Chains A and B, each alone.
Chain A
Amino acid sequence: MSNSEMDWLERAQNGDDEAFTNLVTTYQNPVYNLCYRMLGDSQEAEDAAQETFWRAYQAIRRYDKNRPFATWLLSIAAHYCIDQQRKKRLPILEIDDWMEEIVPDDSPDPEKSASKSQEHEMLRRLLKSMNPQDRGALILRYWYEFSEEEISHSLQISVSAVKSRLFRARLRMAELWQTEQSSFAERIQNESPA
């Protein structure tokens, strides 16, 4: 955390709204990214990210400075997204749609584009296949490089529960990846002229 961020944090804790807005600007991308990975819809992700910052704003005086600010903020976002998914029981939606919008298509090669799109569709299905808590643990571990202890602290579950969730998520992803690959190969075989 930079000195200016420390200063904003201290000022925000003393009720300075401008300082808090600076923190929002600094951390909007990681928070939004987490919400997007968890929810898979741009509007829901924006609402969740806004709600995350509002909750952080309300709780900023209780923030423990010994803990990294990003970890604290992402914990709030992960909790909120898990709760939202539990409430609505929504599946991950059309990640491939936003992938098409946000991933710059720097290659004009249609074969390469098709392959990228297929990979993103695969990622969508892999994430969709998990329950929200497993997905949350996996995203925090591999997108944000949280340690198991940090995930445990963030999701308020034990370290052994984190290990078991990550194991289950990896196994599920590995199995599904192979299944998807097999079905894709079969489709190609069926589509090719005899």
Chain B
Amino acid sequence: MNHQRSDNWLQDPAGMTAEQTSELQTHLTTCPECSRIHAGWQAAHNLIHSAPEIKAPVGFSARFQASLVERRKLEHRRQARNLGLVLVGATVVTSILLLIRFFTTHSAVDVLSQGIQFLSVAPQRVVEYRYIFAFWLGEIPAAYLIGAAIILLSWTFLLLAIWILALRRIKHQGVTQP
């Protein structure tokens, strides 16, 4: 028999058969190194078993309960900040990507000349568009215009309210895990 049995025992001290244990005992009487390790682990194991459970300090759960409100508030603030950072980050990344795409498909000279061209014809275009707009406004009955304005404003307010309420909810209650 070699040291293998001793190693097997140390790998799984409780998993040996009676025959294996007997072989191990025989080996231990002839091998001082394995005997030393065996005795060392037995002693350490006994020490672990004799070590008592450490009790939590008095008032532990009361301290937890007291800290819960503050921790929750901090967590909700953190979530709101993270959401804000994600939104700002996404906007910045999208803008950068759009700018990169724009400048890879258009040369700087083209952009400049188109800009100058646009500025030079802009006053004339404004007059034209104002004329078209005024013409169509005059053609549409006033009741329709008022109705359209109400619908448009209602939706705008509704979306704004949802957005503000969602941000307030995240700030005060955090993101609830499903």
Q: Which residues of chain A have a CB within 8 Å of any CB of chain B?
A: 17, 21, 24-25, 28-33, 36-37, 42, 45-46, 49-50, 53-54, 57-59, 61-62, 98, 102-103, 119-120, 122-123, 126, 142-143, 163, 166-167, 170-171, 173-178, 181
| A191 to B71 CA separation, bound complex (whole angstroms) | 55
CB distance from B8 to the nearest CB of A (A): 10
B130 touches A (CB below 8 Å) = no
Q: A33-B53, A54-B64, A174-B41 are in contact. List 16 more A-B contacts (CB 8 A).
A: A17-B68, A21-B61, A32-B60, A46-B60, A50-B64, A58-B177, A59-B177, A98-B54, A102-B52, A122-B47, A163-B11, A174-B10, A177-B40, A177-B41, A177-B43, A178-B37
Number of B residues near A (Cβ < 8 Å) is 36
CB distance from A167 to the nearest CB of B (A): 5
Q: Which of A120, A143, A174 contacts B38 (CB 8 A)?
A: A174
| A24 to B53 CA separation, bound complex (whole angstroms) | 17
- Chain B residues with CB under 8 Å of A178's CB are 36-37, 39-40
Nearest CB in chain A to that of B45: its residue: A142
| A30 to B54 CA separation, bound complex (whole angstroms) | 8
Residue pairs across A and B with CB atoms within 8 Å: the count is 108
B140 touches A (CB below 8 Å) = no
In the complex, which residues 29-73 of chain B have their Cβ closer than 8 Å to any Cβ of chain A?
Answer: 36-41, 43-45, 47-57, 60-61, 63-65, 67-68, 71
- Chain A residues with CB under 8 Å of B7's CB are 167
Indicate the member of B10, B47, B56 with the most A CB atoms within 10 Å: B56
